[in-house]
Amino acid sequence: MHRRTALVLLVLFFPWEDACAKAGADSLHLNVTMPAPKDQWFARDKADHFMVSAFLTGCAYYAAQKEARLSESAGKNFAVGFSLSLGIFKEVYDGLSGKGNASFKDLGADALGTGLGYLMCTIGTK
């Protein structure tokens, strides 16, 4: 398993609340909803996550190809990693800040949008 894949799985599935409670770190409480009643799969928020992730993937791929002059495969890898990292960061921020609720459904929409962006980059290079 690649290190990045292991890191993503750790962030997504690590029992953060239990670990924080055992460590006595109340200030690191994650407010993760599994799922909240308002957190529906087909909502505007999910469409926003989907489209922004696809857009970020395309922009990052363009920047990697044209500005950084990375190879095609390295550019795609960078674009996917960049987009997914921002999605994960946003959900962790929501959970830690208390300004929102972290949602695995949002991460799912991010992953689907990143997949669409990757597909568009692949189609566009042929």
Q: How far is CA 63 from CA 19, 52, 78, 85, 115, in A?
A: 39, 16, 10, 16, 18
Q: Which of 107, 113, 116 is nearest to 35 (CA)?
A: 107
| Residue 17 covered by a domain | no
pLDDT > 80? residue 107: yes
* Host domain of residue 94: 31-124
Percent of the chain with pLDDT over 90: 50
pLDDT > 90? residue 78: yes
Say how many domains are in the chain.
1
CA-CA distance, 36 to 22, in Å (whole number)? 25
In this prediction, residues 23-38 reach a mean pLDDT of 55
Residue type, 29: H
| Residue 8 covered by a domain | no
Q: Do 102 and 31 meet the contact criterion of CB atoms below 8 Å apart?
A: yes
